[in-house]
Chain A
Amino acid sequence: MTSAVRRPKPDPTKRARNGRRPARRPLAKAPTGIAGLDEITNGGLPRGRPTLVCGGAGCGKTLLAMEFLVRGALEHGEPGVFMSFEETPADLVENARSLGFDLARLRARRRLLLDYVRLERSELTETGEYDLEGLFIRLGHAIDSIGAKRVVLDTIETLFSGLSDRFVVRAELARLFRWLKTKEVTAIVTGEREAEHLTRHGLEEYVSDCVILLDQRVREQSATRRLRILKYRGSAHGGNEVPFLIDDHGVSVLPITSLGLTHQATTAHLSTGVPGLDAMFAREGYFRGNSVLASGTAGTGKSSLAAHFVEAACRRGERCLYFAFEESPSQIARNMRSIGIDLEPWMRRGLLQVHAQRPTALGLEAHLVAMHRLIDACQPQVVVVDPVTNLIAVGSEIEVKAMLARLIDFMKLRQITALFTSLTEGGGAAEQTDLGVSSLMDVWMLLGNLEANGERNRAIQIVKARGMAHSNQVREFLMTDRGIVLLDVSRRADGSVAIGSARDARREQAPADDRPAARRRGVE
């Protein structure tokens, strides 16, 4: 009892003095500002600590590190020091310009300091004991002179390659990381990846609080970049490889799982643009935020369906973004005008933006990034990808599916309703989509040709519509000068559905089509 009474109350300061850990605080993080990287690291790099970024030659280490400094200076008010052991300031300025960064301006405003450390091995005759105190003084002075909060050392191998004493190198390497922590700068140290080991000295990865591995590989003539968080002390991180891209906007990391399935499902709905088709859904159309797949063989009316959809959205005053992988904007407008859908006024008014590009013009990651950027810039309510199958040309099935999953998550979070058309091969099973992407979709419609009695008639059916009752009928439709017109179901006495001429024949026999009954059957 007495001991219980005497026991002092928990006091964080006392515990700290006892040498025990104070109460656990969430790890402070410094946002990199690099698109996607902050998502997969849950907020950025460990603040005030060194991160090792390693990879082979040309994998993007230097550019990633440079963007970390530039974004820090521009967006987070944190000046940075870039200490380069390989590239001269002139080279760095030039390379950064290709990413759209103006280093000269940042240097002039003292938000960035570039220090090129020239290392000439021939000049360094070793005559006894030495250390790298000069480097620490030099870096410390650079940090203090602009009040830097971020530091990059690029690359660590080059720095140490000039020194032959391995014991000194190891000791100074460890001291460098400790020293960076005492300076409380958020640092990126880049390292050249060795064939078998992560780093040359096998030490860097242990003394770093965070290790990011970059990789570039070439497959089927196209290079893909991958990024992986190998280690993040004190923080959860996904260990997956994620693709990343370097283009004129800088580095973009494309997380697949980061968004998660957290989007809000709504009950708001919107029209398919085809009145007869609306009637096949219990809620008179798609849910807002739905991903809709319309698959069918060539010439079954997929693009027409998409045109109806965007036209209806434009009529409501909503913005639409149309990704066309087969036709130019003017070609789409001309073709749709032939079936009575005039898209040009909406294009002129800016409500409809059509982006046409050959899929092979870019790699898969580049497409995804380009689409993300356009969606961010346009802020559409409706997006069409026509046809999504053309993306297979630039990636494997797994990659395309992963990319679509990312794109769909991204749009769902923004409550964007998306229509994907998919071209299926003739002769194959109608429901066999080449992509196996139907599981990602909320609504799946099949368009096809019904061949019977020497005729080929167009038909549409709803395979699935998540969270909504829908018709189970295969509905014949006509491509008219007023667009897609669904025909009412015409049943024979035996319950079979008459199509084409057989329907017309029946209509002549009994012109009074039982419309309400058909409607009722249409929606179950």
Chain B
Amino acid sequence: MKTGARRTWRLRLYVAGQTPKSVTALANLKRLCKSHLAGRYRIEVVDLLRQPHLARRDEIIVIPTLVRTLPPPIRRIIGDLSNQERVLVGLDVRDGGSPGGRSP
């Protein structure tokens, strides 16, 4: 399972333009990834104002929403990510950057 744990994390952040919440969320996300997932993450920012059809496709109603697409399973958290504790729990990031949970 070691190799699986070292896989790259894919995180997609949905925002709506350059609102304070969106800017805060992206800054918080970058900081958290650097400290916990250094070198093993990719962040994709989706601006729904530019691609409104993705709101329906990806089941988004709350802004900002962060979706962990990899590693599986998909997890979603909402808010500007300022509560780091909850972000770590929500994304299931453990020290060392491997996804936790009950699965081995």
Contact = CB atoms under 8 A, between A and B. Distances in A.
A27 interface: no
Contact of A130 (B49, B55, B63): B63
Interface string A109-135: 000000101110001111111111111
Given A123-B75, A141-B53, A118 B80 contact: no
Contacts of B14: 134
Contacts, number: 96
Contacts of B49: 137
A123 B28 CA distance: 20
Contact of A127 (B60, B63, B78): B78
B96 interface: no
Contacts of A125: 76-78, 86, 89-90
Contacts of B52: 137-138, 140-141
Nearest to B48: A137
B62 A134 contact: yes
A117 B59 contact: yes
A142 B56 contact: yes
Interface string B32-53: 0000000000000000110011
Nearest to B57: A138
Contact of A128 (B19, B25, B48): B25
A135 B61 contact: yes
Contact of B56 (A128, A130, A141, A159): A141
Q: Which of A119, A128, A132 has the most CB of B within 10 A?
A: A128
Contacts of B19: 133
B78 A138 contact: no
Given A138-B61, A141-B55, A133 B77 contact: no
Contacts of A134: 14, 16, 48, 55, 60-63, 65
Nearest to A138: B55
Contact of B90 (A127, A132, A137, A142): A127
A205 B62 CA distance: 24
A130 to B, nearest CB: 5
Contact of B80 (A123, A129, A141): A129
B21 A131 contact: yes
Q: Which of A125, A142, A159 has the most CB of B within 10 A?
A: A125
B87 interface: yes
A130 B16 CA distance: 11
Q: Which of B55, B60, B66, B77 has the most CB of A within 10 A?
A: B55
Interface string B68-100: 000000011111111100110110000000000
A138 B60 CA distance: 8
Nearest to B63: A133
A129 B55 CA distance: 19
B47 to A, nearest CB: 10
Contacts of A127: 66, 77-83, 86-87, 90
Interface of A: 115, 117-119, 123-135, 137-138, 140-142, 159, 163
Q: Across chains A and B, which 7 residue pairs bring their CB atoms closest together, nearest first?
A: A125-B90, A128-B79, A138-B55, A128-B80, A128-B82, A141-B52, A127-B79
Given A127-B86, A138-B55, 4 more contacts: A124-B62, A125-B89, A132-B61, A137-B52
26 contacts: A117-B59, A119-B61, A124-B78, A125-B76, A125-B78, A125-B90, A126-B78, A126-B86, A127-B78, A128-B25, A128-B82, A129-B21, A130-B62, A130-B64, A130-B78, A130-B79, A131-B63, A133-B16, A133-B63, A134-B61, A134-B65, A135-B61, A135-B62, A137-B49, A138-B52, A141-B56
Interface of B: 14, 16, 19, 21, 24-25, 28, 48-49, 52-53, 55-56, 59-66, 75-83, 86-87, 89-90
